[in-house]
Amino acid sequence: MAEKFNVDDDSVRGLAKLLEETGLTEIEYQVGTHRIRVVRSNVSVVSHAVSAPSHPVSAPVKEISPVEAPVVQGETVKSPMVGTVYLSAEPGAAAFIKTGDLVKKGDTLLIIEAMKVMNPIRAPRDGKVLSICIENAKPVEFDEPLLILE
């Protein structure tokens, strides 16, 4: 017989608030074999509590269309994570890159903040920035186009 899982309302509310504050569409929290998944739908936040190792629960999720990259030939650098993108090191500072800049492999292109951690996104190779596909201080999803390198 499966162990009874009591859902902590405050935890669910905290996770829902985190979704709202970060602009994320989904968050999952697990302790031992118990898991809480909170998904933002079109109108409200829906929570599901399941005991692992059951299959994930499907719920209606707001469809968010990825930012359309301009029709430009080159290599698309995509987001490796969900978070908030910043084009400069701090508010008011110059942007790391701008369209037309030449970058070297390993140069910082931008920063993605995820769970209060600033993650530099580095150039995968030398190249010229043809297009920047995102806006400063806006949420990004996993695999969303960030910029295009020639």
- Give the single-character DSSP code of 97: -
pLDDT number for residue 26: 74
Does pLDDT of 88 surpass 90? Answer: yes
Tokens, residue 47 = 């929570």
Which secondary structure element, helix H or strand E, spans residue 59, and what is its range? none
In angstroms, the CA 85 to CA 48 distance is 29
- The domains found in the chain, sorted by start residue, are 1-63 (no CATH), 75-149 (2.40.50.100)
pTM summary value = 0.53
Contact 88, 94 (CB under 8 A): yes
Digit-coded pLDDT (tens) for 17-47: 777 777 777 777 777 676 777 776 544 344 4
In angstroms, the CA 111 to CA 81 distance is 11
Does pLDDT of 119 surpass 90? Answer: yes
- Amino acid, single-letter form, for residue 149: L
Which secondary structure element, helix H or strand E, spans residue 62, and what is its range? none
Does pLDDT of 52 surpass 50? Answer: no
Does pLDDT of 61 surpass 90? Answer: no
Strand-pair partners of 117 = 114
More confident residue, 8 or 71: 8
Per the prediction, the chain carries an average pLDDT of 78
Does pLDDT of 74 surpass 60? Answer: yes
